[in-house]
Structure 1
């Protein structure tokens, strides 16, 4: 299993729109993703904290195929953007090993509520 976790900072005034768009993308795009067994979107209890997204793939190669796909680019584009650039340019770059990634200071526990789960079961 290959697990990818992202933290997404969203200003409080854009949280509702972000949640609606993200959940729609999960429901419409994730059933088509090869090797994806589960994905979750967790909302922070503290509005100043980041959302957490976790995706579980059968293998790293499945993640790489997803990361390099048109579906990935479409789902990561900014609403109203005129280019096909992903909203997080680092997300489309090769995954760096942990020892070379940008270290972030520990922030202590984060508390979230689960908004959506994709479990990989075909509809």
Structure 2
């Protein structure tokens, strides 16, 4: 099993829109992902704690195939109507920049602050009907 965990910072005023879009993407895209056995979305309980997404793949190569797929790009893209400046919320993490151009503070590791508390709000189980 190969487990991938992402932490996604979402401002409180954008949380509802983020959850709706993310859960929709999970329901529409994840059933098509070969080798994905489970995925979860966890809402933070404490202020200033990021959302947590965990995906469990059968193997690292299954994850790499997903990461390199059109389905991945579709799930992680932002529709033009939702882009900042078009009246939509910015609910996605910033895209990676070319080496040497990223803000050094943005790339800094998070300080260890103790346990994080989350509430599970969505689970995808691979192979379910």
TM-score by length of 1: 0.81
Query: CA RMSD for the aligned pairs?
Result: 1.8
1:107 CA displacement? 1.7
User: 2 CA distance for matches of 1:88 and 1:72?
Assistant: 15
Q: Name 1:68's counterpart in structure 2.
A: 68
Q: What are the residue-to-residue correspondences of 1:2-81 with 2, within 5 Å?
A: 2-80=2-80, 81=83
Question: Runs ≥4 in structure 1, deviation > 6 angstroms?
Answer: none
Query: Unaligned 5+ residue runs, structure 1?
Result: 91-101
TM-score by length of 2: 0.77
- Aligned CA distance change for structure 1 residues 11 and 87 (closer, same or farther; 3 Å): closer
> Could you tell me whether the CA contact under 8 Å between 1:78 and 1:87 is conserved in 2?
no
Structure 1 position 120 matched with structure 2 position 126: yes
Max radius of gyration: which structure?
Answer: 2
State the SS of the aligned residue for 2:14: helix
User: 1 CA distance for matches of 2:124 and 2:10?
Assistant: 21
Q: Name 2:113's counterpart in structure 1.
A: 107
Query: Unaligned 5+ residue runs, structure 2?
Result: 84-91, 97-107
- Aligned CA distance change for structure 1 residues 36 and 108 (closer, same or farther; 3 Å): same
1:79 CA displacement? 3.4
